[in-house]
Structure 1
Amino acid sequence: MEQASELLQALIEELEGVEWRGSRSPLPAEDGPAVDLVVEVLVGRRVVTLEVGVRQVGEPRMLQRFAGEVEAAGEEQRGHPVVVAPFVSSRGRDLCKTLGLSFVDTAGNAYLNVPGLLVERSGRENPRRERRELRGLFSTKASWVARRLFAEPDREWTMTELSRESGVSLGHVKKVLDRLSGEDLVEKTWGAIRLTDPGGLLDMWREAYVPQEWTGYHSPVRQQEDLVGRMGGLEDDEWALTLGAGVSLMAPFVRSTDVHVYVIGTVDPIVDALDLTPVEFGGNVHLSTPADEGVMFGSRRVGGVTVVSDLQLYLDLYNWPARGREQAEHLRETVMGV
């Protein structure tokens, strides 16, 4: 509790016209399940009481629970509810605003909305949450579950259906759903599971996504349209276009000359069809044989050729340096709608 008190005091003392009056443990009459610390601050001439819940995590699920505890306390909750946690994400901040909560985290983010005072600080990254932690949520088999959910966001699933259609064991499906539920991305009611925030899932996924490795080739066929046209006669379940060549067929935005293709199995048919020669640097055709065949999930025929799903196209573009992020957001706005 001492660290939470010091964190709040440091924030208050930075503010003009606001005075720190002190903190204490809650009295028995105030000691509801939500309150760990009572703080008083002077805002102008008015004393404002903050009833603070100190939590080990600031996930949306925990914020929802804290709000429920505050509501259950009713009249016993005399002050303004504030959560102190190691980190509250931007999604958590939006949820706090909806629930009428304030928060301060140890990363330096804050949202304090009490009579006469509004403080909002954002953009600080979670110092404890390493990138690999997010990657675990979107590791190979976990991502298969997420891909199924994202493909049909309005569908109500059972765990058995998700396990069968994703090819992932029931135990692993449950672990993935628990993580997604903790991030307030899925809703589980009476055995039914539904993705409630496709946009939030996409935002998390793009930050965790590890771009594929590509091998460059040179083709004497110079025009992208001609290269793509030559691929139309190949078996369509063994390859799919992505990046510039893929998005040019879905949501043209930036002209691209290169062709990027995911290939399952041998690359020989594409090498022969496009008369490819390996190059050490550059090239106008780039092939990838991904370790995770999940990148092919949801691929479809567009204009006579196979293109990866909108989800995969977005993830690849968002992490691509050559105006990729700009193209990704155009795809999201005009085609995906999430």
Structure 2
Amino acid sequence: MLKGVHSMKEAEARAGEALRRLLEKIPILQIEDIEAAAVSGDWRPDLVARLLVDGREHLLICEYKSNGQPRYARSALLELRNYVAQRAPQATPVFIAPYLSPAVRQLCAEMGVGYLDLEGNARIAFGGVFIERMVADKPAAEQRELKSLFRPKSAQVLRAMLREPDRAWRVTELSEISGVSLGHVSNVRNGLIDREWASASDDGLVLSAPDALLDAWRDSYTPPAGERLRFYTPLHGSALEGAARNTLGTQDGQGHAAFASFSAAQWLAPYGRTGTHYFFADEDGLHKLQVALKLSTVSKGENVVVTVPKDLGLLADTLEPAPGAICTSPVQTYLDLSIAGERGAEAAEHLRQERLSWPK
């Protein structure tokens, strides 16, 4: 127990030091002291900063949390606001954490609470003082956490949930449908709840902010690992489309392939044609496409691009909007378009409006 208290005190001391460094830069401000509040049964702030501003005393009432995710931030902000309203109405509440995402910073602003994180993001306003600092980069730990939430195994869980965004899921159901272990599903569940992208109800886990989840996925998305092969086909127009649909539509357990990227978007939410045709396929599916579309390998001038992904879960997450027109799911197609340059970004937005709009 003592060890926990000791490390918390160290963390509070770091928070106090970060606050001191920030305030020292303000010429009209004099710091009288920054002290840790006494521990007691009632809720107490972690730090109280006594300042002189143009000779007038002002208090900053600060709460430090070692995790700044929305779920933890929201309760801290409410406690801070209530404490200030009841005990120190002239004081300014300030929330401090190792890192605060843009969503949490916005939450602080909406609730009228100042903030500071140990990465250097800050916004504190009172009297004649206004401090605002933004640091562009997400810290490495936050990037790692987000990346792990969107890695192939976790992504299979997210895809299942986004296919039925209104459904409440038991962890066991998600594990079965996504083919991912219970422990891994639990990690995804915790990550979603911490960020307030999902909430736990009596019936199970429900997505509460599918748009915010998809935004974050898009922002950290990188092309699927695997081989990207370039080919030339002599087929055009309806001959090409017919040959592709015949091949994709006869997937007899041996070999899987699907329209992807711009080619999937043509079926899901058409938006301007492109001269290149895109597919995802496994090794057997690739062979079938090579035969059916008379593909020859080229170093330039390709009009067919086939990705053979390491994560074959991508080929399990498909739709068939017309007979034989097997396409990567709207979510996967959206992600792939979002990194396909300017035209891709426009096609992605169009697809999102048509196929991925959820009631707010």
Correspondent of 1:317 among 337, 347, 352: 337
Aligned match of 1:38? 48
Supply the AA of the counterpart residue of 2:291.
D
| Paired positions, count | 336
CA 1:25–1:313 in 2, change beyond 3 Å: closer, same or farther? same
Deviations 1:24-56 (A, max 9, x none): 224549995452211234556754321112222
Contact 1:132 1:208 in 2 (8 A): no
Work out the CA distance in 2 between the residues paired with 1:86 and 1:120: 17
Supply the AA of the counterpart residue of 1:11.
L
Correspondent of 1:140 among 139, 144, 152: 152
Contact 2:121 2:135 in 1 (8 A): yes
Contact 2:31 2:52 in 1 (8 A): yes
Runs of 4+ in 1 over 6 A off after TM superposition: none
Aligned match of 2:179? 167
Deviations 1:88-120 (A, max 9, x none): 111112222344332111223223344555544
Correspondent of 2:350 among 327, 330, 333: 330
Contact 2:125 2:131 in 1 (8 A): yes
Aligned match of 2:86? 75
Work out the CA distance in 2 between the residues paired with 1:286 and 1:41: 63
Give how far 1:84 is off.
Answer: 1.6
Correspondent of 1:4 among 11, 15, 25: 15
Work out the CA distance in 2 between the residues paired with 1:313 and 1:217: 21
Give how far 1:259 is off.
Answer: 0.8
TM-score, structure 2 normalization = 0.82
TM-score, structure 1 normalization = 0.87
SS at match of 2:310: coil
Give how far 1:188 is off.
Answer: 0.9
CA 1:37–1:131 in 2, change beyond 3 Å: closer, same or farther? closer
CA 1:334–1:11 in 2, change beyond 3 Å: closer, same or farther? farther
Matches within 5 A, 1:168-247: 168-190=180-202, 192-212=204-224, 213-223=227-237, 226-236=239-249, 237=251, 238-247=256-265
Aligned match of 2:35? 25
Supply the AA of the counterpart residue of 2:235.
V
1:127 equivalent in alignment to 2:139 = yes
Deviations 1:273-323 (A, max 9, x none): 110012234511111222222223442223441221110011111122353
Work out the CA distance in 2 between the residues paired with 1:116 and 1:303: 64
Deviations 1:241-284 (A, max 9, x none): 11122223333334311111011341122111110012234511
Work out the CA distance in 2 between the residues paired with 1:226 and 1:15: 71
Aligned match of 1:57? 67
Work out the CA distance in 2 between the residues paired with 1:163 and 1:11: 46
Aligned match of 2:270? 252
Work out the CA distance in 1 between the residues paired with 2:321 and 2:59: 61
Correspondent of 1:90 among 86, 89, 102: 102
CA 1:303–1:189 in 2, change beyond 3 Å: closer, same or farther? closer
Give how far 1:20 is off.
Answer: 3.7
Contact 1:296 1:309 in 2 (8 A): no
Give how far 1:130 is off.
Answer: 6.2
Query: Gaps (5+ residues) in structure 2?
Result: 1-11
Work out the CA distance in 2 between the residues paired with 1:315 and 1:191: 30
Higher mean displacement: 140-149 or 18-27:
18-27
Higher mean displacement: 309-318 or 228-237:
228-237
Supply the AA of the counterpart residue of 2:356.
M
Percent identity over the alignment? 30
Work out the CA distance in 1 between the residues paired with 2:346 and 2:33: 48
CA 1:34–1:272 in 2, change beyond 3 Å: closer, same or farther? farther
Work out the CA distance in 1 between the residues paired with 2:288 and 2:228: 17
Query: Gaps (5+ residues) in structure 1?
Result: none
Matches within 5 A, 1:291-306: 291-304=310-323, 305-306=325-326
Higher mean displacement: 130-139 or 153-162:
130-139
Contact 2:37 2:45 in 1 (8 A): no
Contact 1:23 1:37 in 2 (8 A): no
CA 1:42–1:226 in 2, change beyond 3 Å: closer, same or farther? farther
Supply the AA of the counterpart residue of 1:135.
K
Contact 1:83 1:101 in 2 (8 A): yes
Work out the CA distance in 2 between the residues paired with 1:227 and 1:123: 50
SS at match of 1:253: coil
CA 1:245–1:283 in 2, change beyond 3 Å: closer, same or farther? same
Give how far 1:2 is off.
Answer: 4.3
CA 1:77–1:161 in 2, change beyond 3 Å: closer, same or farther? farther
Contact 1:55 1:85 in 2 (8 A): yes
Contact 2:248 2:258 in 1 (8 A): no
1:279 equivalent in alignment to 2:298 = yes
